[in-house]
Amino acid sequence: MAKLRIGVVLAAGKGTRLKSDLPKVLHPVLGKSMIQRVLESFVPLKLDQVILVIGHQAQQVEEVISHLNLPFSIHFVVQEPQLGTGHAMMQVLKALPSETQADVLITCGDMPLVLAERYQELLKLYDQKQPAVAMVTVAMSDPTGYGRVVRDQENQFQRIVEEKDATLEEKKIPWINAGIYTVNWPVFSGYFAKLTQNNAQGEFYLTDVLGLLAQDKKQVIPVVWPDPDEILGINSRSQLSEACGILSRWTAKRLMDQGVSIVNPQSMTLAPEIQVGADSVLYPGCYLEGDVVIGFHCEIGPYTTMRGEIEVSDFCRVVYSNLERRVAIGKNSYVGPFAHLRDNAILGETVRVGNFVEVKETQIGDRSNAAHLCYLGDADVGDDVNMGAGTIVANYDPIRDAKHRTVIENGVKVGCNSVLIAPVTLHQRSCIAAGSVITEDVESGDLAIARARQTQIEGWVDKTSAQPVNEPS
């Protein structure tokens, strides 16, 4: 039988230092949970199965993960109580008996920055050398907190010593254990029975297996990874923000390499998923996360947020605005400053959505304008429509708790400060006089005026004020 290739993710730990109600691995790192990022990095590895060790708040973690769309099956193993990483691996035996011919990639659920290609490199090297264990190591300028890789006089791997068990000499070693391993399962798991809790933390250390293997002259090869950033483990809120910063920096670098100008990368938060076309300019202070796709020659920001499924076509400007959940903007459109587009706001080409305009569950046709102070909710707006400043669509019926649609056909002109009480249809090329409250459909080409007629009282000011006000006595 062909050897299996299995992934194991350790995610049972409590994450005490985050001081959170949310399980550690569910904390988001630029729009995706740590564990989702880890599992997605497994996708190209063609694993036969992934085993996830959960423990603390196991149900909640399992629930979230089971809703992710992943191309491999996930087998959950519960570790209760949590007695260390070695103890966590012992639980894996329940899903993967010791005699199973398998190569197992082990990583931690709190290391979301490792790239898929780095795992691939590790597996490739493991395949070539066929050791008992290939372990990842990185030289750190400040290795505090990590396990250190101890070598013998011949520079051969000897063991890993945890920070809390290390001597002063050992603490000076810059080579740390990343917590990522590929192991020959029957050989590796055969040592679990030898693990003890005789250490500073009273835990079963997974790392002790490597020392025991080396003692028995089994091959343990340290594999050096170039970038310490990638193996950042998140144990605290500061490390969580550090991880977001690293991802954002990488994204900015990638985009700039692809021809995007970023005026001040340090001011930006850019999730790795975002795509931006060449010759676009990102101005300072933007937060872009999710499936954000921006075209060529766009100007985005300053100070613009996009979160969710956002599509901005070529030659658009989006300034000081907030775009959420599902938004699409046709090419050559101008949004903002201070626009709020959310939940299926679909704009055509050359559309103008200006300051203090909110658009949701609404389509706007080509060349239409809502340039100032509008609310457009649950509306179908045609082409060449002009919405005057202050126009509001009254889409919500609070008595029946229902939303109704407003249809505004091609070429309609709506005067300033009008209220369109849905459901209502303004047929093609109709006009609404400013200040109207429209409750009935308006026929094509008609003008609707729905406001009190102006009354004028002659000489009223002089009659009422015998004494002019504001005049010094």
**Active-site amino acid positions:** 372
Using CB under 6 A, which of 8, 106, 110, 348 touches ligand UD1?
A: 110
Closest CA to 379 of 421, 439, 350: 421
Task: Write the binding mask 148 to 187 for ligand UD1: x where contact by CB under 6 A, - elsewhere.
Answer: ------------x-x-------------xxxx--------
Residue nearest to Ca ion (CB): 233
Stretch that binds ligand UD1, among 4-12, 236-244, 250-258, 286-294 (CB under 6 A): 4-12
Using CB under 6 A, which of 32, 37, 87, 340 touches ligand UD1?
A: 87
Cβ-contact 310, 293 below 8 angstroms: yes
- Tokens 């008609």, residue located: 446
Query: Quick one: 192 or 315, whose CB is closer to ligand UD1?
Result: 192
Show the 3-state SS of the chain.
CCCEEEEEEEECCCCHHHCCCCCHHHCEECCEEHHHHHHHHCHHHCCCEEEEEEECEHHHHHHHHHCCCCCCCEEEEECCCCCCHHHHHHHHCCCCCCCCCEEEEEEECCCCCCCHHHHHHHHHHHHHHCCCEEEEEEECCCCCCCCEEEECCCCCEEEEECHHHCCHHHHCCCEEEEEEEEEEHHHHHCCHHHCCCCCCCCCCCCHHHHHHHHHCCCCEEEEECCCHHHHCCCCCHHHHHHHHHHHHHHHHHHHHHCCCEECCHHHCEECCCCEECCCCEECCCCEEEEEEEECCCCEECCCCEEEEEEEECCCCEECCCEEEEEEEECCCCEECCCCEEEEEEEECCCCEEEECCEEEEEEECCCCEEEECCEEECEEECCCCEECCCCEEECEECCCCEECCEEECCCCEECCCCEEECCEEECCCCEECCCCEECCCECCCCEECCCCCCCCCCCHHHHHCCCCCCCCC
Which does residue 85 bind out of ligand UD1, Ca ion, none, counting CB within 5 to 8 angstroms by kind?
A: ligand UD1
Using CB under 6 A, which of 10, 30, 214, 255 touches ligand UD1?
A: 10
Using CB under 6 A, which of 35, 51, 53, 271 touches ligand UD1?
A: 53
Q: How far is the CB of 235 from Ca ion (least distance, A)?
A: 5
Query: Is residue 214 part of the contact set for ligand UD1 (CB under 6 A)?
Result: no
Query: Is residue 414 part of the contact set for ligand UD1 (CB under 6 A)?
Result: no
Query: Is residue 83 part of the contact set for ligand UD1 (CB under 6 A)?
Result: yes
Which does residue 395 bind out of Ca ion, ligand UD1, none, counting CB within 5 to 8 angstroms by kind?
A: none
Query: Is residue 233 part of the contact set for Ca ion (CB under 5 A)?
Result: yes
Query: Is residue 109 part of the contact set for ligand UD1 (CB under 6 A)?
Result: yes
Query: Is residue 336 part of the contact set for ligand UD1 (CB under 6 A)?
Result: no
Cβ-contact 431, 450 below 8 angstroms: no
Query: Is residue 143 part of the contact set for Ca ion (CB under 5 A)?
Result: no
Q: How far is the CB of 120 from ligand UD1 (least distance, A)?
A: 20
Stretch that binds ligand UD1, among 108-116, 119-127, 290-298, 405-413 (CB under 6 A): 108-116
Query: Quick one: 34 or 385, whose CB is closer to Ca ion?
Result: 34
- How many other CB atoms are there within 10 angstroms of residue 106's CB atom? 24
Using CB under 6 A, which of 33, 182, 184, 207 touches ligand UD1?
A: 207
Stretch that binds Ca ion, among 125-133, 228-236, 318-326, 348-356 (CB under 5 A): 228-236
Task: Write the binding mask 427 to 446 for ligand UD1: x where contact by CB under 6 A, - elsewhere.
Answer: --------------------
Residue nearest to ligand UD1 (CB): 147
Query: Is residue 13 part of the contact set for ligand UD1 (CB under 6 A)?
Result: yes
With b for 16 or more beta-carbon neighbours within 10 A and e for fewer, the 73-91 pattern comes to ebbbbebeebbbbbbbbbb
Q: How far is the CB of 116 from Ca ion (least distance, A)?
A: 21
Query: Is residue 85 part of the contact set for ligand UD1 (CB under 6 A)?
Result: yes
Query: Quick one: 119 or 283, whose CB is closer to ligand UD1?
Result: 119
Stretch that binds ligand UD1, among 39-47, 204-212, 326-334, 411-419 (CB under 6 A): 204-212
Per CB under 6 A, residues contacting ligand UD1 are: 10-13, 53, 79, 82-85, 87-88, 108-110, 146-147, 160, 162, 176-179, 205-207, 233, 235
Per CB under 5 A, residues contacting Ca ion are: 233
